[in-house]
Chain A
């Protein structure tokens, strides 16, 4: 990529990878710095973020104070699912969560500023912020995952360890794709945040559940269309050596990356539709 010669300026220079990443690093660094600068506000954000995670974990705990097994899993095994899903989601929320500010840009007409910069618009939006406070919630997910890993009865060997890593990375990517998907739809929906929240935050909720309790329609929606079962539950049953429920056999745990690919494909598709709609004068 060469920068164009401007009036009175010499030469053409080629940009290496480091140079190309420079603008994104610049914005992210600024944002991170400004978030940490407001100490009390940041502490408050961290605290509330952690509490949200704790409350969600509490829900699972309350349920298991009444029963000893759900969907074929004990509490420690559910913790594995919950931890994996919540950690992956929190990390994705940290890096992609602010895509939900797109409607604000659309309403204020400030998305145009993105068009005037020599970078892809989606990439600008993704790197426009980083929600550091989500780290606290990720900590809750990580803690649950830690307990789950230690006590769920998984036989740890290179295979299961690889599956865990694969599941986490794929889960992160799958959730990230959901945020892009939701953003693309925002070009069409006005005040439509609640509709996309249904599959983004509903998806997170679904991901922490054992898919074996789902009805058939739910299996279609959150098993395959928004592939939430692949982010945590299926890798977990594979690791635990349990049989999967009907329609979702255990070996699908290894297909978690496919879910991520699907999620991003749909997300990018909706994004392209949305941008084309915007440039065609809609909204």
Chain B
């Protein structure tokens, strides 16, 4: 048991280290975050003001927090739906992965989460700082939100890794996963609250979003970290995330096992 834990820890660290090589890309990401962040501030602040200074629980300060936290998280979640694993499933190299004494799903998710955590350093934190410096953000004072926020953040990253994992293993049955991947890319961004806060959606669209795991990836962590709605709501959101995580993980396990059997039957 301890040996297994060590293996996954190593994978996490490896994923963490892998990202440190891409420094210039990180700077580029920061510039992009700043640009889109400032543009979003313009539009969303104007929206809040046009609604009389308060909109579905958001004022300009909390809107700013939403914007900079979500921009900062961009480097830590996968909203494209693309993975290396998908390519490996497609060309059959995944057979090699199955020979290793680690669970494919756990290993993949561990590595991705490590990379996501690392990205907080060159991209996540600086984006929030930039936002605080240029526009100003309002963060909660109570430690409860930071505690829950940390849990929420990591859970969101894991859900992101787990759901794109599902796309990759779908490749055992689908010849071309590009269609699914594109749908994921569009849905995860929009329904995940990247464009506008989900609270601003019309009622029916909000229900649609809640029926998908996408809000748990980005919107809920952002809401928890900004303290929106209080501690009770924060706890609710984290619980919802954990439920989605369990679901995605279970589905992933099932698909992995079925996929592995299929591969063996085909002699891949």
Contact = CB atoms under 8 A, between A and B. Distances in A.
* In-complex A–B contact (CB below 8 Å): yes
Interface string B28-67: 1101101110110111111100110001100000000000
Contacts of B27: 195
Contacts, number: 104
A194 interface: yes
B46 A62 contact: no
Interface residues of B, number: 38
Contacts of B47: 63, 66-67, 70
A272 B178 CA distance: 38
Nearest to B191: A55
Interface string B149-192: 00000000000000000000000000010110011001001100
Interface of A (DSSP majority class) = helix
Contacts of B38: 215, 217-218
A71 B189 CA distance: 25
Contacts of B195: 55, 58-59, 62
Contacts of A222: 39
Contact of B43 (A44, A192, A197, A209): A209
A71 B43 CA distance: 9
A65 B28 contact: no
Interface string B195-233: 110001110010000000000000000000000000000
B84 to A, nearest CB: 17
A224 to B, nearest CB: 16
Given A44-B178, A59-B195, A194 B29 contact: yes
A213 interface: yes
Interface residues of A, number: 39
Interface stretch (A92-100, A143-151, A199-207, A231-239): A199-207
B51 to A, nearest CB: 5
A15 interface: no
Q: Which of B31, B39, B178, B200 has the most CB of A within 10 A?
A: B39
Contacts of B189: 55
Contact of B36 (A44, A70, A205): A205
A248 interface: no
A199 B32 CA distance: 8
A165 interface: no
A280 B206 CA distance: 56
B32 A197 contact: yes
Contacts of B45: 213
Contacts of A69: 50
A33 to B, nearest CB: 21
B182 A198 contact: no
B24 interface: yes
A51 interface: yes
Interface of B: 22, 24-25, 27-29, 31-32, 34-36, 38-39, 41-47, 50-51, 55-56, 176, 178-179, 182-183, 186, 189-190, 195-196, 200-202, 205
15 contacts: A44-B178, A44-B182, A59-B190, A62-B195, A62-B196, A63-B196, A66-B200, A67-B50, A70-B50, A191-B22, A192-B28, A202-B39, A205-B39, A213-B43, A213-B46
